[in-house]
Structure 1
C-alpha cells in the first residue's frame, strides 16, 4: 500500500510539474534548507527527491517537527528501504554484506577495542556497518541503514552505486586490497583508459550481475570450503581451522563454527560452492570462452592451496611452541595460536603469523582471482615465504633460549 501511495504521489508530482504548478515544500524541506542545505540539495537532486513521491518523513517519520524535538527523529534501517525496494533488500539479506556485523561480534579482542573504533565506526565498524546490526549497536551508532554504504545519503544514486569507486572505501588496504588489485589489472586499466564503456568488467559486473544484491562468491572471505576432496589440501585446511579456533587443538568443532556459518565467510557444502562458481563462469563467459574462464578460476583455486601449504606449516611451528610450554596461553584459552586476535597477538612470532594469514595469504589468492599477477607474487607468495623463514628462525631461537631440544 505504501508503495502504491508513493507511486500515486510521484504521478501527481509529474502532473503538477507538467501543468506548471509548483510543488509545495514540506516542513522538512523548508526548515532544512536553512539548517542543512546540502542535505536538501542532495535529496532533491536524486531520483526520489525529483519524483516527489518520497519526502524526508517517509524515512525519518513525523515525530520530529522542530529543533526542540530532534531526538524524536527516526533513523532509517534496511527495513525502511524494503518498503519500496523489496527485491533488492531480500537479495541483500541473503548475502554476505548483510552478515558483515557478525564479524564484529566474532573477533575475540573486539570487546577491548576503543568504543569509537568499533561502535563509533572509526575503525572496523566503519565498513562493517554495511551489515545488519542489533538494536543496541544500531542505536549506539545512529548510522542509519546499511543501504547508504553504497547508495550514499541523501541522493541514494543508483548510478553512483554502480561505479567501481563505490566499493573502494571498504575493499582496499591491508587484508582485502581488491580495489588496488582490480584497478591495476588489465580489466581496471581498460576501464581507466576508456571509461565506463562496458568493455572492461567492474566490481559490479562480476559480483552483482544483473543488479543482484546477494554479492556472494565461491570461496568466501576465508577461502575455505568443506568438505575438501583433495586429502593433502584438507590436511592444510584442518590446521588453518584450528588456528582460526573453528576446531580445537584436538580437531573437534567449537562454537566459532556457528559464527563462520552466520557470517558466511566459508562455504560449507559442495553445492553451495559450485552454485557460486557456476554463476561466476556464466559472467566470465560473456567476454571469454567457458573453457578459458574455468581454467583461469581453476588456477586461482590452486593458488589458495599453495598459500595454505605455507600457512599450515607456520601454524604448526607456533603450535609446537605452545605444546612445549615456550608460549603460554591466556587464561581460559587453549594452548594454540589464535589467528583472530590479529594485532592483539602477544608475541612477535604470533604477530608475524597473523600478518602472514591476514595480509599475505589474502593477497596471494585474491590477486589471482582479480587477475593481478604482481599481487599474487610480490605482495602474496613471496611475502608468505619470507614470513615462514622468519617464523622458523624465531621458533628455533625461542626453543634454544628456553633450553628445549629441537
Structure 2
C-alpha cells in the first residue's frame, strides 16, 4: 500500500474513533436515557433557555452542569437525583463571599421568618410554597438537609446565592445593579427600593447610568453602602425592628419599653420573655451599645466618602430624632390598645397575655389592633427607613403623617369600644 493509501486508512480510523467517542457522549434517546454526562444533549431540547443562559455567564468557561448538580442524574427517569445547589455548594469556589454572606442579616432570613408567630398560623402552601413570606425568607437555608428538617419542608428553589446572582448565568454585573435588590426590598414593610429610587441618590444614579455609564460612581446604589467594597455581609445599625438597647435617652427608653412589650419581648410588667432569645438569634435589633456603634461608625465612614463629616453626622442625628418622634406616637397607641385588654374590653386569644401582640400581624382580635399593626409594620417602618434613605416624601407622607392619622383613629375606636362596653 502506497503512502497515499496508508494516509487514507489512518483518516478512516480517526473518523471511526471520533464517531465512537461521540456515541459514548450523553445522547438523549427516545427513552430519555443519558449515556454519559453531556447534560446539554438533553437540556438543549428540554430547557434551551437554561442552556443559553448558562453560556452567557463566566461559570460556563470552567464548570459543567455536574460541578453544581452532581453526576447522579442520568435520565428523565431520575431527575430527583439532580442536586440543587445551596450556599454550601457555592462556597466551594467562593469561600470568602460565602463566609461574609453567612455573617450578615440575609443569612438570618429563615430565623426571622420562624420567629414570627404569624408564620405558624398560615397555611403551609403560603409559607412553604414561595408564594408568601417564604419567597424571600428561605434564603437563610444553607443546605438541603436543613430544608427538610425545619418542621416545614421549605420550597427548594430559593435557598442559595442565585437570589441575587440569578441562575443560570450567575452574573456579577447583574447582581451589582440596584434592581437585583428590588425583588425583596420593596412594598409594604420594606419599601427601600421605592425610597432609594425616588431619592436624590437613586434618581442621580439611574439617570447617570443612561447618560454617562462609564461614571457610575457619581451617586450610590444599594450595594455602594450595604455591600461596600463588595463585602457580602449585609447589616445595618438599627436592624429591621428599629430598636436598640440600651438607650441613653430616658424619654426614648420609655417609649421603647412600651414597644418591646408590644413585640412580646418584654411581658406587661417589663420582664424579658422567651422572645428575647429569638430576637437575639435573628439579630433583628441591636442589643448592645457596641453592636450599634460599630455599625453606625461603618456607615458613617461610607457616607463620608462623598459627604463632609458634619453633613453625615447631622443627617444621622436627624433620622434618629425622627424615629424617636415616631416611637412616641406608636407607644401612645400601644398603651391605648393595651388598656382595652387590661380592662377586659378585648379578650386575649388562648395562650396570649392580656396585652397587645404585634407579631401576630393581621391575625388579631379586633379592627383597632389591625390599625395598630399597620402603624408598626407599615407607617413606622417608612418613617425611619425613609429618613435613612433620604426620601423625605416617604418619611413624611407615607410614614410620620400616617402615624398621626393612625393614632387619631385608634383613640376614636377605643372611645367607642369603651362606650359600648360601659367601661
Match of 1:172 among 182, 186, 190: 186
User: Counterpart of 1:76 in 2: which secondary structure?
Assistant: coil
Checking the alignment, whether the CA contact within 8 Å between 1:182 and 1:188 is kept in structure 2 is: yes
Listed as ranges, the matches of 1:23-34 within 5 Å are 26-34=37-45
The reply on whether 1:135 has 2:147 as its aligned counterpart is yes
- Which of 367, 378, 399 aligns to 1:348? It is 367
Indicate whether 1:105 and 2:114 are aligned: yes
Counterpart Cα distance in 2 of 1:360 and 1:260: 21
Q: Tell me if the contact between 1:104 and 1:118 (Cα under 8 Å) persists in the aligned partners.
A: no
1:292 to 295, 311, 321: 311
Q: Which runs of 4+ in 1 moved over 6 A?
A: none
Closer, same or farther in 2 for the Cα pair 1:119/1:106, shift >3 Å? same
Alignment check: 8 A CA contact 1:75 1:144 kept: no
SS in structure 2 of the partner of residue 66 of structure 1: coil
CA deviation digits over 1:279-314, x for unaligned, max 9? Answer: 111111111111211111111111110110001000
Identify the range of structure 1 (117-126 vs 106-115) with the bigger mean alpha-carbon deviation: 106-115
Change (3 A) 1:301 1:118: same
Any idea what the Cα deviations from partners look like across 1:319-357, whole Å, max 9, x if unmatched? Answer: 000000000101111010110111112210000000000
| Aligned alpha-carbon RMSD (Å) | 1.4
- Cα distance in 2 for partners of 1:68, 1:163 equals 39
In the alignment, what sits opposite 1:312? 331
Q: From 82, 85, 88, give the equivalent of 2:91.
A: 82
Q: Aligned partners of 1:141 and 1:217: how far apart in 2?
A: 28
The residue correspondences of 1:144-293 to structure 2 (distance < 5 A) are 145-195=159-209, 197-293=216-312
Kept after mapping to 1: 8 A contact 2:107/2:139: yes
Q: Please, what TM-score do these two structures have when normalized by structure 2?
A: 0.87
Q: Distance in 2 between matches of 1:264 and 1:159?
A: 29
Secondary structure of the residue aligned to 2:77 is: helix
SS in 1 for 2:130: coil
- TM-score w.r.t. length of structure 1: 0.91
Q: Find the structure with the greater CA-based Rg.
A: 2
Pair 199,36 (structure 1): closer, same or farther in 2 beyond 3 Å: same
Q: Deviations over 1:354-383 (max 9, x none)?
A: 000000000010000000111111111110
Q: 1:116 aligns with which of 119, 125, 130?
A: 125
For 1:374, the equivalent position in structure 2 comes to 393
Tell whether the 8 Å contact from 1:167 to 1:179 is kept in structure 2 after alignment: yes
Q: Distance in 2 between matches of 1:235 and 1:364?
A: 19
Alignment partner, residue 68 of structure 2 = 59
Gaps of 5+ in 1: 1-23
The structural deviation recorded for 1:236 is: 0.6
- Consecutive unaligned residues of structure 2, counting only runs of 5 or more, are 1-24, 27-36
In 2, the alpha carbon distance for the partners of 1:248 and 1:285 equals 41
Quote the Cα distance in structure 1 between the aligned partners of 2:160 and 2:125: 18
Residue by residue over 1:191-210, the C-alpha shift from the partner in whole angstroms, topping out at 9 and shown as x without a partner, is 12111521010000010000
Aligned residues: 379
Cα drift, residue 139 of structure 1 = 5.4
Instruction: Report how far residue 140 of structure 1 moved.
Output: 4.1
Q: Distance in 2 between matches of 1:34 and 1:139?
A: 31
- Partners of 2:387 and 2:68 in 1: CA distance: 42
Distance, in Å, in 2 between the alignment partners of 1:293 and 1:235 is: 27
Cα distance in 1 for partners of 2:156, 2:324 equals: 42
Superposition pairs of residues 324-335 of structure 1, within 5 angstroms: 324-335=343-354
Give, in angstroms, the shift of residue 221 of structure 1.
Answer: 0.4
Is the Cα contact below 8 Å between 1:150 and 1:161 reproduced in 2? yes
Give the Å deviation of 1:135: 2.7
Give the aligned partner of residue 388 of structure 1.
407
Structure 1 counterpart of 2:134: 125
